[in-house]
Amino acid sequence: MAERVFVEQNFETVEPSQLISKVGDFKADGCRLGQICGVVLDDETYEIVYSFDKGHQLYNLRVDIKIGEELESITGIYWPAFIYENEIHDLFGVQFNHSALDYQGKFFKISEETPWKPKK
Q: Which residues of the chain form contacts with other proteins (CB under 8 A)?
A: 1-7, 9, 11, 32-35, 37, 39-41, 49, 51, 53, 56, 58, 60, 78-80, 82-84, 103, 106-112, 115-116
Q: Cα 31 vs. chain centroid, distance in angstroms?
A: 15
Q: Which is nearer to other proteins, 6 or 21 (CB)?
A: 6
User: How many residues does this entry show for the chain?
Assistant: 120
Smallest distance, other proteins to C-beta of residue 95, A: 19
| Rounded-to-integer distance, Cα 69 and Cα 55, Å | 34
What is the phi/psi pair of residue 59, to 5°? Answer: -125, 130
Which H helix or E strand runs over 37?
Answer: strand 32-40
Q: Which is nearer to other proteins, 5 or 69 (CB)?
A: 5
For 103, how many CA atoms within 13 A lie in the half-sphere containing its CB? 15
Smallest distance, other proteins to C-beta of residue 25, A: 17
Q: Which is nearer to other proteins, 95 or 116 (CB)?
A: 116
Smallest distance, other proteins to C-beta of residue 1, A: 7
Measured at the CA of 30, the angle between CA 28 and CA 34, to 5 degrees, comes to 110
Q: Which is nearer to other proteins, 82 or 96 (CB)?
A: 82
Smallest distance, other proteins to C-beta of residue 78, A: 7
